[in-house]
């Protein structure tokens, strides 16, 4: 975009120079858009028309035809002076707009280049443990960014002392979403579980704190038949 506006600046600068030097005139030829034509070209067109007309006479006077063509061209150019001057004003305003846009973009680019790249403290692989009043679960957390201050946690069950869930070791369990809220991280996950001790759907929420490459916090497991506390601890794997 910076280069695009630079080219527009250069084009408007050339047009302004031609207008101020009186080398061009703004011509309207409906239904076409108004356009700038060199004054020499306008003179050539009028002279051509007058010479063509004169050539059809029995006793043509070509010098007179050229003089008349140039006179008509001058009258035409003079008659277009007001609209041409108005376009000069417009061109100068457009130049200011293009230059301002380029400078703003260059300023934004310079700021981006000057800012150090902020490393995402969460994205990566983590070793996590979830404790409940009745059991514990070890997971691998694969955390990926989903936008500004939001993440997705994919869980793979590594081990558990819960009899019903033990056969699920190695499988992916429900995902979490993680949202930064001030200095803390709000965690949320939903699932449908066939656990006979707490069957049906459940919602897990928690508030986590990040410190020295570790996440920890507590929350609530709200099930269809049973609600209880839940504790989270996780440590990021070294890359």
Average pLDDT value for residue range 153-165: 93
List Cβ neighbours of 239 (8 Å cut-off, separation of 6 or more).
124
Q: What is the per-residue pLDDT for 223? A: 86
Task: Return d(Cα 75, Cα 80) in angstroms, integer.
Answer: 9
Domain end position, chosen among 70, 96, 114: 114
Average pLDDT value for residue range 148-161: 94
108 and 154 both lie in a single domain: no
49 and 148 both lie in a single domain: no
CA–CA–CA angle 141, 146, 147 (5° rounding): 140
- Asked if residue 25 belongs to a domain, the reply is yes
Q: How far is CA 41 from the centre of its chain?
A: 44
Q: What is the per-residue pLDDT for 54? A: 93
104 and 203 both lie in a single domain: no
The overall average pLDDT reported for the chain is 92
pLDDT beyond 80 at 20? yes
Two structure tokens written together for 24: 């061009």
CATH code, domain carrying 137: 2.40.128.120
Model confidence pLDDT, tens digit, residues 207-227: 999 999 899 999 999 988 889
46 and 98 both lie in a single domain: yes
191 and 151 both lie in a single domain: yes
93 and 138 both lie in a single domain: no
Domain end position, chosen among 75, 94, 114: 114
12 and 99 both lie in a single domain: yes
165 and 231 both lie in a single domain: yes
228 and 134 both lie in a single domain: yes
Residue 33 belongs to what domain range? 2-114
What's the pTM value of the predicted model, to 2 decimals?
0.51
106 and 183 both lie in a single domain: no
110 and 128 both lie in a single domain: no
List Cβ neighbours of 149 (8 Å cut-off, separation of 6 or more).
179, 180
């Amino acid at each position: 975009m910076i280069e695009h506006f630079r080219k527009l600046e250069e084009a408007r600068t050339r047009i302004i120079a031609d207008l101020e030097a009186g080398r061009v005139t703004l011509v309207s030829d409906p239904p076409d858009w108004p356009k700038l034509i060199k004054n020499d070209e306008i003179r050539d067109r009028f002279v051509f028309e007058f010479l063509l007309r004169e050539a059809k006479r029995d006793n043509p006077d070509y010098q007179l035809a050229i003089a008349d063509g140039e006179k008509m061209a001058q009258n035409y150019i003079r008659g277009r002076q007001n609209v041409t001057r108005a376009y000069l004003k417009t061109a100068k305003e457009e130049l200011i707009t293009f230059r301002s846009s380029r400078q703003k973009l260059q300023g934004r680019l310079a700021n981006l280049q000057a800012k150090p790249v902020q490393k995402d403290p969460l994205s990566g692989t983590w070793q996590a443990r979830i404790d409940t009043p009745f059991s514990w679960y070890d997971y691998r957390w694969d955390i990926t960014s989903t936008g500004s201050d939001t993440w997705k946690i994919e869980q793979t069950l590594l081990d558990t002392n819960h009899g019903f869930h033990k056969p699920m070791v190695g499988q992916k369990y429900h995902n979490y979403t993680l949202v930064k809220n001030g200095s803390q991280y709000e965690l949320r996950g939903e699932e449908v579980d066939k656990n006979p001790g707490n069957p049906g759907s459940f919602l897990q929420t928690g508030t986590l704190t990040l410190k020295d490459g570790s996440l920890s916090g507590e929350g609530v497991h709200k099930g269809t038949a049973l609600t209880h506390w839940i504790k989270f601890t996780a440590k990021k794997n070294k890359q």
